[in-house]
Amino acid sequence: MKEQGFTLVELLAVIVILSLIALISVPAITGIIKSSKETLSDAQRKNIELSAKNWASDIKNVKKLPQEDGDNICIELTTLQNEGYADLEIKNPKNGKDLIASVQITRNGKNLEYEVFSNSGCLS
């Protein structure tokens, strides 16, 4: 009577093939995940900056803006969220926790410049 099943050689061949597929795919998938986190981080920075621009364009905040060349102010992300300028739940792509960020608004001549800082706060 002939037994049905796989031989040891056939099982080893399947294991080798699966190992090769894993060796090829894992680095590629890791690179894609890293790239997507960087893209998400850039998009979040732009959203925070846009929220700060909306805050600065509101007539009730004009007096809070820097008036002289080189002056700056710092707006926390939580302030933008609480006042309704950033209605997003912004998470840190690295750990999934709420992102702690701030925007420094600096007067440069007639223009305002916006710089987003994450976790460290604005420069003084």
Burial of 123 (0-12, 13-18, 19+ CB in 10 A): exposed
- Asked if the structure places residue 77 within a domain, the reply is yes
Cβ 61 vs Cβ 55: under 8 Å = yes
- Asked if the structure places residue 124 within a domain, the reply is no
- Asked if the structure places residue 62 within a domain, the reply is yes
Give pLDDT, residue 6: 85
- Asked if the structure places residue 1 within a domain, the reply is no
Q: How confident is the model at residue 88 (pLDDT cuts 50, 70, 90)?
A: low
Of residues 15 and 103, the one with the higher pLDDT is 15
Number of domains forming the structure of the chain: 1
Q: Above 60 in pLDDT, residue 124?
A: no
Rounded to whole angstroms, the Cα distance separating 74 from 8 reads 67
Domain that holds residue 94: 9-118
